Structure 1
Amino acid sequence: MDPDRLTPQPLGQKLREPASWRLVVLPWLLFIATAAAAIAFAWQIWRPAPFGDPLATSLVAFDKQDRLTVFSAELAPVVASDDSRLFGLVTSRQVAVIPARVDYAIDLGKVGRERMRWDMANRTLTVRLPALQISRPNLDEARAQYLREGVWITRAAQDKLTRDNTRLAERLAVEQAANPVLLSLARSAAKDAIRQNLAIPLQMAGFGDVKLSVSIDGEPSNP
Protein backbone atom coordinates (compact mmCIF):
# COMPACT_ATOMS: atom_id res chain seq x y z
CA MET A 1 0.00 0.00 0.00
CA ASP A 2 1.31 3.45 -0.89
CA PRO A 3 2.13 5.30 2.33
CA ASP A 4 1.44 8.66 0.63
CA ARG A 5 -2.23 7.78 0.35
CA LEU A 6 -2.41 7.36 4.11
CA THR A 7 -0.84 10.74 4.77
CA PRO A 8 -3.56 13.16 5.84
CA GLN A 9 -3.85 16.35 3.82
CA PRO A 10 -3.21 19.60 5.67
CA LEU A 11 -6.42 21.22 6.85
CA GLY A 12 -5.41 24.56 5.42
CA GLN A 13 -5.23 23.09 1.90
CA LYS A 14 -8.80 21.76 2.09
CA LEU A 15 -10.04 25.15 3.18
CA ARG A 16 -8.22 26.91 0.36
CA GLU A 17 -9.76 24.82 -2.52
CA PRO A 18 -13.20 26.51 -2.54
CA ALA A 19 -11.55 29.91 -2.30
CA SER A 20 -9.38 29.03 -5.28
CA TRP A 21 -12.47 28.02 -7.30
CA ARG A 22 -14.14 31.32 -6.51
CA LEU A 23 -11.05 33.23 -7.54
CA VAL A 24 -11.26 31.64 -11.00
CA VAL A 25 -15.03 32.09 -11.56
CA LEU A 26 -15.58 35.48 -9.96
CA PRO A 27 -13.64 37.53 -12.57
CA TRP A 28 -15.68 35.94 -15.37
CA LEU A 29 -18.94 36.72 -13.62
CA LEU A 30 -17.84 40.30 -13.16
CA PHE A 31 -16.82 40.50 -16.81
CA ILE A 32 -20.18 39.13 -18.02
CA ALA A 33 -22.13 41.48 -15.76
CA THR A 34 -20.08 44.46 -16.94
CA ALA A 35 -20.54 43.50 -20.61
CA ALA A 36 -24.30 43.10 -20.16
CA ALA A 37 -24.54 46.50 -18.49
CA ALA A 38 -22.51 48.07 -21.30
CA ILE A 39 -24.72 46.51 -23.98
CA ALA A 40 -27.89 47.67 -22.21
CA PHE A 41 -26.47 51.20 -21.86
CA ALA A 42 -25.45 51.27 -25.54
CA TRP A 43 -28.90 50.05 -26.62
CA GLN A 44 -30.56 52.86 -24.66
CA ILE A 45 -28.34 55.37 -26.46
CA TRP A 46 -28.15 53.95 -29.99
CA ARG A 47 -31.48 52.15 -30.44
CA PRO A 48 -33.47 53.57 -33.41
CA ALA A 49 -35.93 56.21 -32.32
CA PRO A 50 -39.31 56.44 -34.04
CA PHE A 51 -39.59 59.33 -36.44
CA GLY A 52 -42.73 60.94 -37.79
CA ASP A 53 -45.93 59.26 -36.74
CA PRO A 54 -47.29 55.74 -37.38
CA LEU A 55 -50.21 57.04 -39.44
CA ALA A 56 -47.92 58.78 -41.92
CA THR A 57 -45.68 55.70 -42.12
CA SER A 58 -48.70 53.48 -42.84
CA LEU A 59 -50.09 55.83 -45.49
CA VAL A 60 -46.74 55.79 -47.31
CA ALA A 61 -46.85 51.98 -47.32
CA PHE A 62 -50.35 52.08 -48.80
CA ASP A 63 -49.44 54.61 -51.48
CA LYS A 64 -46.90 52.18 -52.93
CA GLN A 65 -49.57 49.52 -53.57
CA ASP A 66 -52.80 51.37 -54.40
CA ARG A 67 -55.00 48.38 -55.27
CA LEU A 68 -54.19 45.14 -53.47
CA THR A 69 -55.56 41.75 -54.59
CA VAL A 70 -55.99 39.73 -51.41
CA PHE A 71 -57.85 36.59 -52.47
CA SER A 72 -58.84 34.59 -55.55
CA ALA A 73 -61.53 31.95 -55.94
CA GLU A 74 -61.89 29.26 -58.59
CA LEU A 75 -65.56 28.65 -59.40
CA ALA A 76 -67.28 26.14 -61.66
CA PRO A 77 -70.75 27.37 -62.64
CA VAL A 78 -73.06 24.72 -64.12
CA VAL A 79 -75.57 26.21 -66.54
CA ALA A 80 -77.99 25.02 -69.23
CA SER A 81 -79.67 26.62 -72.25
CA ASP A 82 -82.37 25.51 -74.69
CA ASP A 83 -82.91 26.34 -78.35
CA SER A 84 -85.98 25.86 -80.51
CA ARG A 85 -86.23 26.24 -84.28
CA LEU A 86 -88.64 25.55 -87.14
CA PHE A 87 -91.66 26.43 -84.99
CA GLY A 88 -90.54 24.09 -82.25
CA LEU A 89 -89.99 21.08 -84.48
CA VAL A 90 -86.23 21.10 -83.81
CA THR A 91 -85.11 21.54 -80.20
CA SER A 92 -81.74 21.27 -78.60
CA ARG A 93 -80.24 21.69 -75.17
CA GLN A 94 -76.74 22.36 -73.92
CA VAL A 95 -75.39 21.88 -70.38
CA ALA A 96 -72.07 23.56 -69.67
CA VAL A 97 -69.53 23.62 -66.87
CA ILE A 98 -67.33 26.68 -67.36
CA PRO A 99 -64.47 27.32 -64.87
CA ALA A 100 -64.26 30.92 -63.67
CA ARG A 101 -61.81 32.91 -61.59
CA VAL A 102 -62.83 35.79 -59.34
CA ASP A 103 -60.43 38.16 -57.57
CA TYR A 104 -61.11 40.08 -54.35
CA ALA A 105 -59.23 43.34 -53.86
CA ILE A 106 -58.93 46.32 -51.53
CA ASP A 107 -58.58 49.84 -52.91
CA LEU A 108 -55.84 51.21 -50.65
CA GLY A 109 -56.11 54.57 -52.40
CA LYS A 110 -59.31 55.12 -50.41
CA VAL A 111 -57.54 54.63 -47.09
CA GLY A 112 -56.80 58.04 -45.59
CA ARG A 113 -55.83 59.30 -42.18
CA GLU A 114 -59.50 59.39 -41.20
CA ARG A 115 -59.59 55.58 -41.43
CA MET A 116 -56.74 55.16 -38.93
CA ARG A 117 -56.34 55.65 -35.20
CA TRP A 118 -53.18 55.36 -33.11
CA ASP A 119 -53.41 54.39 -29.43
CA MET A 120 -50.07 55.33 -27.91
CA ALA A 121 -50.83 53.81 -24.50
CA ASN A 122 -51.58 50.35 -25.91
CA ARG A 123 -49.29 50.71 -28.95
CA THR A 124 -52.19 49.74 -31.19
CA LEU A 125 -52.88 50.95 -34.72
CA THR A 126 -56.51 50.59 -35.80
CA VAL A 127 -57.23 50.53 -39.54
CA ARG A 128 -60.65 50.47 -41.19
CA LEU A 129 -60.50 49.32 -44.81
CA PRO A 130 -63.06 50.02 -47.55
CA ALA A 131 -65.34 47.23 -48.68
CA LEU A 132 -63.95 44.41 -50.78
CA GLN A 133 -64.04 44.83 -54.54
CA ILE A 134 -65.00 41.71 -56.52
CA SER A 135 -63.68 41.51 -60.06
CA ARG A 136 -65.68 40.49 -63.07
CA PRO A 137 -65.49 36.70 -63.45
CA ASN A 138 -62.78 35.54 -65.83
CA LEU A 139 -64.31 32.57 -67.67
CA ASP A 140 -61.92 29.91 -68.92
CA GLU A 141 -63.91 28.62 -71.88
CA ALA A 142 -60.90 26.65 -73.11
CA ARG A 143 -61.48 24.26 -70.19
CA ALA A 144 -65.27 24.30 -70.43
CA GLN A 145 -67.15 21.02 -70.68
CA TYR A 146 -70.35 20.75 -72.74
CA LEU A 147 -73.12 18.21 -72.94
CA ARG A 148 -75.53 18.65 -75.87
CA GLU A 149 -78.89 17.03 -76.38
CA GLY A 150 -80.91 17.05 -79.60
CA VAL A 151 -81.54 15.00 -82.71
CA TRP A 152 -80.21 17.68 -84.97
CA ILE A 153 -78.20 20.66 -83.72
CA THR A 154 -77.30 23.21 -86.35
CA ARG A 155 -74.15 25.31 -86.18
CA ALA A 156 -76.22 28.42 -85.58
CA ALA A 157 -78.10 26.72 -82.74
CA GLN A 158 -74.83 25.50 -81.18
CA ASP A 159 -73.31 29.01 -81.30
CA LYS A 160 -76.41 30.49 -79.69
CA LEU A 161 -76.43 27.86 -76.95
CA THR A 162 -72.77 28.57 -76.20
CA ARG A 163 -73.33 32.34 -76.04
CA ASP A 164 -76.35 31.91 -73.77
CA ASN A 165 -74.44 29.59 -71.45
CA THR A 166 -71.51 32.00 -71.29
CA ARG A 167 -73.79 34.81 -70.13
CA LEU A 168 -75.48 32.51 -67.61
CA ALA A 169 -72.13 31.26 -66.31
CA GLU A 170 -70.86 34.81 -65.77
CA ARG A 171 -74.04 35.78 -63.94
CA LEU A 172 -73.92 32.66 -61.77
CA ALA A 173 -70.23 33.21 -61.00
CA VAL A 174 -71.04 36.70 -59.73
CA GLU A 175 -73.67 35.22 -57.40
CA GLN A 176 -71.30 32.52 -56.19
CA ALA A 177 -68.54 35.07 -55.56
CA ALA A 178 -70.86 36.86 -53.11
CA ASN A 179 -71.21 33.70 -51.03
CA PRO A 180 -70.74 34.54 -47.32
CA VAL A 181 -68.11 31.83 -46.91
CA LEU A 182 -65.96 33.18 -49.74
CA LEU A 183 -66.41 36.74 -48.52
CA SER A 184 -65.30 35.71 -45.04
CA LEU A 185 -62.18 34.03 -46.44
CA ALA A 186 -61.40 37.08 -48.57
CA ARG A 187 -61.79 39.45 -45.60
CA SER A 188 -59.51 37.31 -43.45
CA ALA A 189 -56.91 37.28 -46.22
CA ALA A 190 -57.19 41.06 -46.57
CA LYS A 191 -56.63 41.64 -42.85
CA ASP A 192 -53.61 39.33 -42.80
CA ALA A 193 -52.14 41.08 -45.84
CA ILE A 194 -52.57 44.54 -44.31
CA ARG A 195 -51.00 43.44 -41.02
CA GLN A 196 -47.98 42.05 -42.86
CA ASN A 197 -47.64 45.11 -45.10
CA LEU A 198 -47.71 47.53 -42.16
CA ALA A 199 -45.69 45.60 -39.59
CA ILE A 200 -42.32 45.89 -41.39
CA PRO A 201 -42.50 49.63 -42.24
CA LEU A 202 -43.51 50.43 -38.65
CA GLN A 203 -40.61 48.38 -37.27
CA MET A 204 -38.16 50.04 -39.65
CA ALA A 205 -39.47 53.43 -38.56
CA GLY A 206 -38.55 52.57 -34.97
CA PHE A 207 -41.98 51.86 -33.52
CA GLY A 208 -41.13 48.25 -32.66
CA ASP A 209 -43.84 45.63 -32.32
CA VAL A 210 -47.16 47.36 -32.92
CA LYS A 211 -50.55 45.74 -32.48
CA LEU A 212 -52.65 46.05 -35.63
CA SER A 213 -56.44 45.97 -35.45
CA VAL A 214 -57.98 45.78 -38.93
CA SER A 215 -61.66 45.92 -39.89
CA ILE A 216 -63.45 46.13 -43.24
CA ASP A 217 -66.54 48.06 -44.26
CA GLY A 218 -69.56 45.86 -44.77
CA GLU A 219 -68.38 42.90 -42.73
CA PRO A 220 -70.92 41.42 -40.32
CA SER A 221 -70.56 42.67 -36.76
CA ASN A 222 -69.73 40.13 -34.09
CA PRO A 223 -72.73 39.25 -31.95
Structure 2
Amino acid sequence: MITTPDAPPAERRRALARTQALPWLLFIVMLALAAWLGYRAFWPRGGGDPIGTTIVAFEKQNRLTVFSAQLAPVVAAEDSRLLGFVKSRQVAVIPARVDYSLDLSKMDRNRLAWNTATHTLDVLLPPLSVGTPNLDEGRAQYLREGVWISREAQDSLSRTNTRLAEQQARQQASNPVLMTLARSAAKEALRQNLAIPLQVAGFGDVTVNARFEVEPAPTAR
Protein backbone atom coordinates (compact mmCIF):
# COMPACT_ATOMS: atom_id res chain seq x y z
CA MET A 1 0.00 0.00 0.00
CA ILE A 2 1.40 3.44 -0.96
CA THR A 3 0.92 6.33 1.52
CA THR A 4 0.94 9.99 0.64
CA PRO A 5 2.70 12.63 2.74
CA ASP A 6 -0.63 14.01 3.83
CA ALA A 7 -1.91 10.57 5.04
CA PRO A 8 -2.93 10.37 8.72
CA PRO A 9 -0.09 9.34 11.10
CA ALA A 10 -1.89 6.17 12.25
CA GLU A 11 -2.28 4.93 8.70
CA ARG A 12 1.38 5.60 7.98
CA ARG A 13 2.39 3.58 11.07
CA ARG A 14 0.25 0.59 10.00
CA ALA A 15 1.74 0.64 6.49
CA LEU A 16 5.28 0.80 7.93
CA ALA A 17 4.54 -2.14 10.25
CA ARG A 18 3.28 -4.27 7.34
CA THR A 19 6.37 -3.42 5.30
CA GLN A 20 8.72 -4.40 8.17
CA ALA A 21 6.83 -7.65 8.85
CA LEU A 22 7.05 -8.92 5.26
CA PRO A 23 10.68 -10.18 5.45
CA TRP A 24 9.87 -12.13 8.64
CA LEU A 25 6.86 -13.76 7.04
CA LEU A 26 8.98 -14.82 4.08
CA PHE A 27 11.62 -16.20 6.47
CA ILE A 28 9.03 -18.24 8.38
CA VAL A 29 7.59 -19.65 5.15
CA MET A 30 11.07 -20.64 3.91
CA LEU A 31 11.90 -22.23 7.29
CA ALA A 32 8.72 -24.29 7.21
CA LEU A 33 9.45 -25.39 3.64
CA ALA A 34 13.00 -26.43 4.58
CA ALA A 35 11.71 -28.42 7.55
CA TRP A 36 9.18 -30.23 5.37
CA LEU A 37 11.79 -31.06 2.74
CA GLY A 38 14.13 -32.36 5.45
CA TYR A 39 11.36 -34.54 6.83
CA ARG A 40 10.70 -36.02 3.39
CA ALA A 41 14.40 -36.63 2.77
CA PHE A 42 15.48 -38.19 6.07
CA TRP A 43 12.38 -39.70 7.69
CA PRO A 44 11.91 -43.40 6.85
CA ARG A 45 9.58 -44.05 3.95
CA GLY A 46 6.21 -45.10 5.25
CA GLY A 47 6.42 -42.55 8.11
CA GLY A 48 4.82 -44.25 11.08
CA ASP A 49 4.50 -47.59 9.32
CA PRO A 50 6.75 -50.22 10.97
CA ILE A 51 6.43 -52.48 7.91
CA GLY A 52 7.63 -49.64 5.65
CA THR A 53 10.55 -48.96 8.00
CA THR A 54 11.49 -52.66 7.89
CA ILE A 55 11.36 -52.77 4.09
CA VAL A 56 13.72 -49.76 3.98
CA ALA A 57 16.14 -51.59 6.30
CA PHE A 58 16.10 -54.61 3.97
CA GLU A 59 16.74 -52.43 0.91
CA LYS A 60 19.99 -51.15 2.43
CA GLN A 61 21.53 -54.65 2.38
CA ASN A 62 20.15 -57.00 -0.26
CA ARG A 63 22.25 -59.97 0.86
CA LEU A 64 23.18 -60.64 4.46
CA THR A 65 25.87 -63.19 5.38
CA VAL A 66 24.77 -64.74 8.66
CA PHE A 67 27.07 -67.70 9.26
CA SER A 68 30.35 -69.25 8.08
CA ALA A 69 31.48 -72.85 8.49
CA GLN A 70 35.08 -74.02 8.40
CA LEU A 71 35.34 -77.49 6.86
CA ALA A 72 38.16 -79.92 6.07
CA PRO A 73 37.20 -82.37 3.31
CA VAL A 74 39.37 -85.48 3.04
CA VAL A 75 39.44 -86.84 -0.51
CA ALA A 76 41.46 -89.26 -2.60
CA ALA A 77 42.14 -89.67 -6.31
CA GLU A 78 43.93 -92.25 -8.44
CA ASP A 79 45.77 -91.99 -11.75
CA SER A 80 46.83 -94.72 -14.16
CA ARG A 81 49.22 -94.35 -17.11
CA LEU A 82 51.21 -96.46 -19.60
CA LEU A 83 48.44 -99.02 -20.01
CA GLY A 84 48.01 -99.31 -16.24
CA PHE A 85 51.63 -100.13 -15.45
CA VAL A 86 52.22 -96.80 -13.67
CA LYS A 87 49.70 -96.07 -10.97
CA SER A 88 49.59 -93.29 -8.41
CA ARG A 89 47.29 -92.14 -5.66
CA GLN A 90 46.86 -88.87 -3.81
CA VAL A 91 45.03 -88.23 -0.54
CA ALA A 92 44.27 -84.58 0.19
CA VAL A 93 42.94 -82.59 3.12
CA ILE A 94 41.81 -79.21 1.78
CA PRO A 95 40.41 -76.61 4.22
CA ALA A 96 37.25 -74.89 2.98
CA ARG A 97 34.95 -72.08 4.13
CA VAL A 98 31.27 -71.97 3.29
CA ASP A 99 29.13 -68.88 3.85
CA TYR A 100 25.41 -68.94 4.56
CA SER A 101 23.38 -65.90 3.55
CA LEU A 102 19.88 -64.48 3.20
CA ASP A 103 18.60 -62.87 0.01
CA LEU A 104 16.75 -59.92 1.54
CA SER A 105 15.61 -58.68 -1.87
CA LYS A 106 12.90 -61.37 -1.64
CA MET A 107 11.42 -59.76 1.46
CA ASP A 108 8.13 -57.93 0.99
CA ARG A 109 5.07 -56.98 3.04
CA ASN A 110 3.61 -60.47 2.65
CA ARG A 111 6.43 -61.83 4.81
CA LEU A 112 5.93 -59.28 7.62
CA ALA A 113 3.24 -58.93 10.27
CA TRP A 114 3.08 -56.17 12.91
CA ASN A 115 1.19 -56.45 16.21
CA THR A 116 0.52 -52.94 17.48
CA ALA A 117 -0.65 -54.07 20.90
CA THR A 118 2.52 -56.03 21.75
CA HIS A 119 4.99 -54.13 19.54
CA THR A 120 5.93 -57.42 17.91
CA LEU A 121 7.15 -57.94 14.35
CA ASP A 122 6.81 -61.44 12.87
CA VAL A 123 9.15 -62.15 9.95
CA LEU A 124 8.94 -65.10 7.54
CA LEU A 125 12.44 -65.54 6.14
CA PRO A 126 13.32 -66.79 2.63
CA PRO A 127 15.31 -70.04 2.33
CA LEU A 128 18.88 -69.92 3.54
CA SER A 129 21.42 -69.79 0.72
CA VAL A 130 24.53 -71.99 0.99
CA GLY A 131 27.44 -70.40 -0.88
CA THR A 132 30.08 -71.99 -3.08
CA PRO A 133 32.86 -73.54 -0.95
CA ASN A 134 36.00 -71.41 -0.84
CA LEU A 135 38.89 -73.90 -0.92
CA ASP A 136 42.17 -72.84 0.69
CA GLU A 137 44.55 -74.95 -1.37
CA GLY A 138 47.50 -72.99 0.02
CA ARG A 139 46.96 -74.80 3.35
CA ALA A 140 46.09 -78.17 1.82
CA GLN A 141 47.94 -81.30 2.92
CA TYR A 142 48.75 -84.06 0.44
CA LEU A 143 49.84 -87.67 0.74
CA ARG A 144 51.00 -89.24 -2.55
CA GLU A 145 51.60 -92.89 -3.26
CA GLY A 146 53.34 -94.32 -6.32
CA VAL A 147 56.71 -95.50 -7.60
CA TRP A 148 56.92 -92.61 -10.02
CA ILE A 149 54.48 -89.67 -10.33
CA SER A 150 54.92 -87.50 -13.37
CA ARG A 151 54.05 -83.79 -13.44
CA GLU A 152 51.02 -84.55 -15.62
CA ALA A 153 49.82 -87.23 -13.21
CA GLN A 154 50.28 -84.93 -10.23
CA ASP A 155 48.30 -82.13 -11.91
CA SER A 156 45.52 -84.57 -12.80
CA LEU A 157 45.37 -85.88 -9.21
CA SER A 158 45.23 -82.33 -7.81
CA ARG A 159 42.44 -81.28 -10.18
CA THR A 160 40.41 -84.34 -9.32
CA ASN A 161 40.87 -83.83 -5.59
CA THR A 162 39.91 -80.17 -5.86
CA ARG A 163 36.67 -81.14 -7.59
CA LEU A 164 35.97 -83.87 -5.05
CA ALA A 165 36.76 -81.53 -2.13
CA GLU A 166 34.29 -78.94 -3.41
CA GLN A 167 31.59 -81.58 -3.78
CA GLN A 168 32.25 -82.95 -0.33
CA ALA A 169 32.29 -79.48 1.22
CA ARG A 170 28.86 -78.77 -0.33
CA GLN A 171 27.51 -81.98 1.18
CA GLN A 172 29.01 -81.25 4.60
CA ALA A 173 27.69 -77.68 4.57
CA SER A 174 24.14 -78.96 3.98
CA ASN A 175 24.08 -81.38 6.89
CA PRO A 176 21.27 -80.79 9.43
CA VAL A 177 23.55 -79.72 12.29
CA LEU A 178 25.21 -76.91 10.34
CA MET A 179 21.92 -75.82 8.77
CA THR A 180 20.36 -75.54 12.23
CA LEU A 181 23.27 -73.44 13.46
CA ALA A 182 23.09 -71.23 10.37
CA ARG A 183 19.34 -70.68 10.74
CA SER A 184 19.75 -69.76 14.39
CA ALA A 185 22.46 -67.26 13.46
CA ALA A 186 20.27 -65.83 10.70
CA LYS A 187 17.33 -65.25 13.04
CA GLU A 188 19.53 -63.57 15.63
CA ALA A 189 21.11 -61.35 12.96
CA LEU A 190 17.66 -60.32 11.70
CA ARG A 191 16.53 -59.45 15.22
CA GLN A 192 19.50 -57.16 15.68
CA ASN A 193 19.24 -55.62 12.21
CA LEU A 194 15.54 -54.83 12.55
CA ALA A 195 15.08 -53.95 16.21
CA ILE A 196 17.45 -50.97 16.12
CA PRO A 197 15.93 -49.23 13.03
CA LEU A 198 12.45 -49.66 14.50
CA GLN A 199 13.54 -48.19 17.82
CA VAL A 200 15.23 -45.26 16.07
CA ALA A 201 12.03 -44.71 14.07
CA GLY A 202 10.14 -44.27 17.33
CA PHE A 203 8.38 -47.63 17.80
CA GLY A 204 9.87 -48.24 21.24
CA ASP A 205 11.02 -51.60 22.57
CA VAL A 206 10.25 -53.93 19.66
CA THR A 207 10.26 -57.74 19.71
CA VAL A 208 11.26 -59.41 16.42
CA ASN A 209 10.21 -63.02 15.87
CA ALA A 210 11.82 -64.62 12.81
CA ARG A 211 11.27 -68.08 11.36
CA PHE A 212 11.97 -69.96 8.13
CA GLU A 213 9.39 -71.49 5.82
CA VAL A 214 10.50 -75.00 6.82
CA GLU A 215 9.77 -74.21 10.47
CA PRO A 216 6.27 -74.44 11.95
CA ALA A 217 4.36 -71.26 12.64
CA PRO A 218 4.06 -70.28 16.32
CA THR A 219 0.80 -71.34 17.91
CA ALA A 220 -1.58 -68.60 18.96
CA ARG A 221 -1.83 -67.96 22.68
Regarding TM over 0.5, the answer is yes
Alpha-carbon distance change, 110 to 150 in structure 1, aligned in 2, over 3 angstroms: same
The CA deviation at 1:119 is: 1.2
Distance 2:123 2:196 in 1: 16
Q: What residue ranges of structure 1 are gaps of 5+ in the alignment?
A: 1-49
Please give the secondary structure, in 2, of the residue aligned with 1:148.
Answer: strand
Distance 1:220 1:92 in 2: 51
1:72 paired to 2:64: no
Output the aligned Cα RMSD: 1.6
The CA deviation at 1:193 is: 0.6
Alignment-derived partner of residue 172 in structure 1: 168
Alignment-derived partner of residue 183 in structure 1: 179
TM-score, length of structure 1 as denominator length? 0.75
The CA deviation at 1:220 is: 7.1
What is the identity, as a one-letter code, of the residue corresponding to 1:78?
V
Identity %: 66
Within the candidate set 41, 46, 57, 1:61 is matched to 57
The CA deviation at 1:166 is: 0.4
Distance 1:220 1:95 in 2: 43
Alignment-derived partner of residue 116 in structure 2: 120
Within the candidate set 131, 144, 150, 2:146 is matched to 150
1:162 paired to 2:158: yes
Alignment-derived partner of residue 96 in structure 1: 92
The CA deviation at 1:55 is: 0.4
Distance 2:168 2:108 in 1: 35
What is the identity, as a one-letter code, of the residue corresponding to 1:79?
V
Q: What residue ranges of structure 2 are gaps of 5+ in the alignment?
A: 1-45
Asked whether the equivalents of residues 51 and 206 of structure 1 are also in contact (C-alpha less than 8 Å), the reply is no
The CA deviation at 1:221 is: 7.6
The CA deviation at 1:219 is: 4.3
Within the candidate set 190, 193, 198, 2:189 is matched to 193
Alpha-carbon distance change, 217 to 210 in structure 1, aligned in 2, over 3 angstroms: same
Equivalence map 1:15-34=2 (5 Å)? none
Distance 1:52 1:94 in 2: 63
Alpha-carbon distance change, 175 to 219 in structure 1, aligned in 2, over 3 angstroms: farther
Q: Tell me the matched-pair count.
A: 173
- Structure 1 residues 165-220: Cα deviation after superposition (integer angstroms, max 9, x where no partner): 00000000000000111111111111111100111111111110111110112347
The CA deviation at 1:51 is: 4.5
1:85 paired to 2:85: no
TM-score, length of structure 2 as denominator length? 0.75
Please give the secondary structure, in 2, of the residue aligned with 1:170.
Answer: helix
The CA deviation at 1:122 is: 2.1
Distance 1:114 1:139 in 2: 38
